[in-house]
Amino acid sequence: MSTTEPTARTMSYREALREAIRDAMQADERVFLMGEDVGAYGGSFGVSRGLLDEFGPERIRDTPLSEAAFVGAGIGAAMGGMRPIVEVMTVNFSLLALDQIVNNAATIPHMSGGQVQVPLVVRMTTGAGRQLAAQHSHSLEGWYAHVPGLKVLAPATVADARWMLGPALADPNPVIVFEHGSLYNREDEIGVEDAAADITRAAIRRPGRDLTLVAYGQSVWTALEAAEALVTEGVEAEVLDLRVLRPLDTHAIVSSVTRTHRAVVVDEMWRTGSLAAEVSAVLTEQAFYELDAPVGRVCTEELPIPYAGHLEQAALPNTARVLAAAREAVGGDG
């Protein structure tokens, strides 16, 4: 008797997230989704479209426009034994729930000596590039990656969007998932071999020998574009997708740069106090004598994201800026 392995399928990042939520809800009746417009409207970015008809209003719960209230309710539900997925429309709006996430979700398991768990997943859209102006476009992932007690994920690929949610829901502590808004329409083919998503490690998206481009989220694709362009200049760049922003996979970062001896970090956060700064510090502390050039950083310009399209694009990390930093690193041998 022979069995046929499921064939690979092409789906969008948005569809992958929806399928992940559907699978989780079918597998465990404790899982439910809550947030603004997740029900009848299908989610602000269309991720939950169709799930209300499938699971009903008890498990696909529209909430009032109060992040403090519904994130707090999600924390309470998690403490009570449920497995809530809380959707926050954008990272900017999550600041209204910082007290709930940072002072409660992240600390309760520790302050209770492990007696109380908070198995909560908070999904939120991050990033710019869609002309939504400053209050809907910033990248604040590093703020959350700064906080002990949280696990912070940034799926860049369709496969990670599909498979990271399961292990995140299985985690007894709160997990924050950042979905870059420019990725929702990205399509890719995924198969059964992608199903074992590791939410503890970085991933090499392209091997190389001359330079490491460290990135996460949408910036991974910018780094990959730059790496393709560098081939014509005889430079083989390795692209390392951080994937997990807390706890940071420092071993993967150091291992890659130990092979390539140069690094450029691509990060849509502002340069000051960024994740790029943390990666640079890790390399300085743990791989200083492996570096043949200073660590380069390509970050968003230090201003609120402009609305005008040409100004927005000028403010963000782009392929041209990554190429300039890479050329400087490759030409900066000591």
Positions annotated as catalytic residues are: 67, 136
> Is 56 within 8 Å of 49 (Cβ atoms)?
no
Nearest alpha-carbon partner for 240 in 271, 270, 266: 266
Backbone φ and ψ of 257, nearest 5°: -70, -25
Q: Which residues contact 308 (CB under 8 A, 6 or more apart)?
A: 131
Backbone φ and ψ of 248, nearest 5°: -70, 135
Q: Which token pair is 31? A: 């899982």
Integer CA distances (angstroms), 114 to 76, 79, 106, 110, in order:
16, 12, 12, 6
267: alpha, beta or left, given left = phi > 0 and alpha = psi -120 to 50?
A: beta
Integer CA distances (angstroms), 156 to 89, 119, 140, 217, 236, in order:
18, 23, 16, 4, 21
Q: For the sheet with 121-126, list strands across it.
A: 60-62, 31-35, 83-90, 121-126, 175-180, 151-153, 244-246
- One-character DSSP codes across 14-70: HHHHHHHHHHHHHH-TTEEEEETT-STT--TTSTTTTHHHHH-TTTEEE--S-HHHH
Query: Omega into 247 within 30° of 0, i.e. cis?
Result: yes
What is the helix (H) or strand (E) element at residue 167, kind and residue range?
helix 165-170
Q: Which token pair is 91? A: 């990272």
> Is 122 within 8 Å of 129 (Cβ atoms)?
no
Could you give the 3-state DSSP secondary structure of residue 205? strand
